[in-house]
Structure 1
Amino acid sequence: MLDIQNLSVVFGTGRLRVDAVKDVSFHVEPGASFGLVGESGSGKSTVLRAVCGLAPISGGRVMVNGQAVKSPRDKSFYRTAQMVFQDPYASLHPRHTVDRTLSEPLAIHGEKNAEARILEALREVGLGPSFRFRYPHQLSGGQRQRIAIARALILRPKILLLDEPTSALDASVQAEVLNLLDELRVRLGLTYVLVSHDLAVVAHLCDRLLVMRQGEAVEETTAAALRSGQAANEYTRALIQASQGFARDGVEPVLV
């Protein structure tokens, strides 16, 4: 469903040149959930932005559903792939109601039966019709992210690009949104690419993952290996150890 070969992303020139992504390759099968992990500045979010056209592709190839992506992206691309951003308050227009937010992509793509589609999208993310005419400031953080997910799903894409979709939420709300995403993937047959610095989130939602550092791919491994701490690369082992945090009385915590 998604095939990335030798992807490079460069910003600036000369002394201001920044190689944000360097020769990264991976592929994601249809219906799978793939994770990109690494510390801040490792280039994982830039990979997603390059796929959806928000960052320039300086080298390499990106194939989505068997087709090379065009620049700029056309409407057919956005019917196939959509992105959910990290901060739902920033990604939703503060002066647009939920109804307008969800109806806009339908209008752009000439879809009919907008009212039925909006109500269905709200129902899929666990929100009722009473949320339809609320503004973002009238919603909790978890409800805003559910609206952002509904907006991404309303065109029935095959791929969701998830850029740390729960990092701005409380721990209990994080669990609710993660369970919702897991349920939607199975029920709608979606393919996920999830970016996160939280290894527990990736281990919960993804089957395979790529560890990134300073724009480069360090190691591709599985969630099972991540949970058991079995990593081949020293940097990956250090990430796992850092994610476990503080242990009192010498009792080692377990990544869940």
Structure 2
Amino acid sequence: MSTVLSVQNMSVRFDEFLALDDVSLDVQQGESFGLVGESGSGKSTLLRAVAGLNAFESGRLAVDGKDYTGKRRDQDFYRTVQMVFQDPYGSLHPRQTVDRLLLEPLVIHGFGDVDQRIARALDEVGLGSGFRFRFSHQLSGGQRQRIAIARALIVEPKILLLDEPTSALDASIQAEVLNLLEQARKDRGLTFIMVSHDLAVISHMCDRLAVMRMGKMVETMPVDALRRREVKADYTRELMLASEGFRRK
């Protein structure tokens, strides 16, 4: 299995605050990798630095064998890497129809057969063609997040960055969206890097995980070790106890 995402010694600073401190991470093709930690631990900052939304002052980034250290992200990068954000209300333009939201990335990346691709994208996320010409304010939170996922998948990426993709949704909808994502990963051979505060979600969705605290990696482990409570760091043990809904399996 080849490495599709490599982060080496990455640091991110906001004014005097060191948000990410010498972080290294390798993710294999087809893997689902989780990032957990308390608020402010640096997990979302790491995801945004990979996506190009935060600049990193030191370190290296390679995606799909191409080095992006100190370089502006290009069109190939954004075709390879897509991101789904936490807030389905803030990530969709309120004055654009679903059709326009899905058409824009296809035009940017030069895809043809746009009608068929939009119809297929809506079907893949469990929404029919009846949603195509609705505005985002006419949709529920779960439907909006499905559209956000469809928009990310429509350009056929290899890597999906998922920043708490279900935390803003009702519990009954969360499971549906997580199952949708897992099915898309299997069908497309996608690689996931998923941020969550919920160890139960990570345990369900991921193969490996890294625990973060104060901008640093505390430890990395297979999810099976988490389920068996075979953790090394005291902080990870505390996180397990504090995580609501986490149960030993």
- TM-score bucket (shorter structure): over 0.9
Q: For residue 202 of structure 2, what is the aligned residue in structure 1?
A: 202
Q: Give the letter aligned to residue 247 of structure 2.
A: V
Q: For residue 250 of structure 1, what is the aligned residue in structure 2?
A: none
What is the TM-score of this pair, normalised by structure 2? Answer: 0.96
Question: Which secondary structure state, in structure 2, belongs to the residue aligned with residue 46 of structure 1?
Answer: helix
| Aligned-partner Cα distance in 1 for 2:216–2:143 | 35
Greater helix share, structure number: 1
| Aligned-partner Cα distance in 2 for 1:20–1:49 | 12
| Aligned-partner Cα distance in 1 for 2:117–2:191 | 21
**Could you tell me whether the CA contact under 8 Å between 1:122 and 1:129 is conserved in 2?**
yes
Q: For residue 64 of structure 2, what is the aligned residue in structure 1?
A: 65
Q: CA deviation at 1:222?
A: 1.6
Instruction: Report how many residues are paired.
Output: 245
Q: CA deviation at 1:175?
A: 0.4
Q: For residue 226 of structure 2, what is the aligned residue in structure 1?
A: 226
Matched-pair identity in %? 62
* 1:66-145 to 2 correspondences below 5 Å: 66-69=65-68, 71-145=71-145
Tell me if 1:19 matches 2:18: yes
Give the unaligned 5+ runs of structure 2: none
Q: CA deviation at 1:42?
A: 0.4
Q: For residue 7 of structure 1, what is the aligned residue in structure 2?
A: 10
- Deviation per CA, 1:157-181: give whole Å up to 9, x if none: 0000000000000111000001111
Question: Which secondary structure state, in structure 2, belongs to the residue aligned with residue 137 of structure 1?
Answer: helix
Question: Which secondary structure state, in structure 2, belongs to the residue aligned with residue 230 of structure 1?
Answer: coil
The worse-fitting range, judged by mean Cα deviation, of 160-169 and 134-143 is: 134-143
**Could you tell me whether the CA contact under 8 Å between 1:200 and 1:255 is conserved in 2?**
no
Question: Which secondary structure state, in structure 2, belongs to the residue aligned with residue 90 of structure 1?
Answer: coil
Q: CA deviation at 1:227?
A: 1.8
| Aligned-partner Cα distance in 2 for 1:228–1:238 | 15
- Deviation per CA, 1:209-236: give whole Å up to 9, x if none: 0000010000001211212222110000
Q: For residue 169 of structure 1, what is the aligned residue in structure 2?
A: 169
Tell me if 1:254 matches 2:247: yes
Give the unaligned 5+ runs of structure 1: 246-252
**Could you tell me whether the CA contact under 8 Å between 1:244 and 1:255 is conserved in 2?**
no
Q: CA deviation at 1:244?
A: 4.6
Q: CA deviation at 1:110?
A: 1.9
**Could you tell me whether the CA contact under 8 Å between 2:197 and 2:243 is conserved in 1?**
no
